Amino acid sequence: MNDLLLEVENLQTHFFLDDGLVKAVDGVHLHIRRGRTLAVVGESGCGKSIMARSLLQIVTPPGKIVGGAIRYHRGPGDVVNLLDYDRKGPEMRAFRGREAAMIFQEPMASLSPVYTIGNQIVESFRLHFKVSKAEARTVAIEMLRKVGIPRPEARFDAYPHQLSGGMRQRAMIAMALICQPNLLIADEPTTALDVTTQAQILELLQKLQAELEMAVVMITHDLGVVAEMADDVAVMYLGQVVEQGSVDDIFYNPQHPYTRGLLASIPRLEGATRARLAAIPGTVPHPYARPGGCPFHTRCRERIINRLDMCKTEAPPLVQVGAEHHARCWLHHNQGVELSSEAVQLASLPLTTTGGH
């Protein structure tokens, strides 16, 4: 545990709306290690982005962090709970950007249209380092060059609308990394980009991660990106982490029905012509109509049927199923459990996956 950078324990972020309470993040546990990439995956509406924003305390009202702990390990014996800081206080403002930074999903919505790219990068740098404008400009131009922007001296004075989508994303990366943070949170950084530009951005992130020795939290829907980039994987469903482990554990030994469903839905080149793609039944429940018990039981093909029907009535705890592999499912509690015939059949099928691992 000496390489532990950020420890998230029972994090809860709720939205208090007129129509009811939305538990966007409902008891998340995570370990983020120095120099490693943690991929957070799951369907839209599972709470991935809100969880990431909670780590930096930038959840906008009416959202509010109502419980849990986010322990940041600066070094041996130097551990702080970020939730002890006022979200608008000087300690948290110093933490954001300097020790942890975030690349948002859509750069055009995150960059101000009325300021130049260079102005916005320099502002972030001068907030944390007492340097002159000329010194900050030199550092910013060098960072733009490092992220692969041609003619950075000219691009420094360009406005966001004058850059392509790939260039804007590179500028966002430069802004996030100019202070050389220990943690980078990337919220679907390649969603709006074409395949070629996406590959370039991912390669750039890997290169910069190795240079700066920083931890990366990568939020994505693309399991191909996970196989290529990640060291560890957390699978989220309805505000909870239902499985977490190494990328090999998740791809080759998935222990939660939801993870197996996600992997089975990957299109395969060796599949039969015109064959239907595998799909998880149903949709993510409405936030005002969360099911009781296990949140996935309404869509689970492997649901346990026993006298108590515990999947409907009791939420399973997160249990250890491997050395650093955890899953939240009653399949791993043997006392009084009887598998349905369909679950027995599914559990006996070999799982084949494609990807970088």
pTM for the complete prediction?
Answer: 0.87
* Any domain includes 138: yes
The domain total for the chain is 2
| CA quadruple 313, 12, 238, 184: dihedral sign | negative
Angle among Cα 150, 101, 35 to the nearest 5 degrees reads: 90
- Provide the pLDDT for residue 356: 39
* Any domain includes 46: no
* Any domain includes 283: yes
Q: At what angle do helices 133-146 and 165-177 cross, to 10 degrees?
A: 120
Looking up tokens 């030994």 gives: 253
- Burial string for 37-58 (b: 16+ CB within 10 Å, else e) reads bbbbbbbebbbbbbbbbbbbbe
* Any domain includes 81: no
- Provide the pLDDT for residue 311: 86
Cα–Cα dist 141/156, whole Å: 7
Residue 327 DSSP SS3? strand
CA of 150: how far to CAs of 20, 118, 153, 156, in Å?
50, 14, 9, 11
Extended beta strands in the chain, E state: 4-17, 20-33, 37-41, 63-75, 78-81, 100-103, 183-187, 215-219, 232-237, 240-246, 319-322, 325-327
- Provide the pLDDT for residue 303: 79
Cα–Cα dist 151/28, whole Å: 43
**Neighbouring C-alpha atoms within 13 Å toward the C-beta of 30:** 33
- The single-letter DSSP state of residue 299 is T
Beta bridge partners of 36: none
The last residue of one of the domains, among 159, 180, 201, is 180
The last residue of one of the domains, among 180, 197, 212, is 180
* Any domain includes 338: yes
- Do 258 and 174 share a structural domain? no
Q: Supply the range of the domain harboring residue 275.
A: 254-347
The last residue of one of the domains, among 180, 207, 240, is 180
- Provide the pLDDT for residue 4: 92
* Any domain includes 186: no
* Any domain includes 23: no
Which phi and psi (to 5°) does residue 271 adopt?
-70, 160
* Any domain includes 209: no
- Could you list the mean pLDDT of each consecutive 10-residue stretch along the chain, which spans 357 residues? 88 92 93 94 91 94 95 90 94 93 82 93 92 94 92 94 89 91 90 80 89 92 88 95 95 93 85 80 86 90 67 88 90 55 44 38
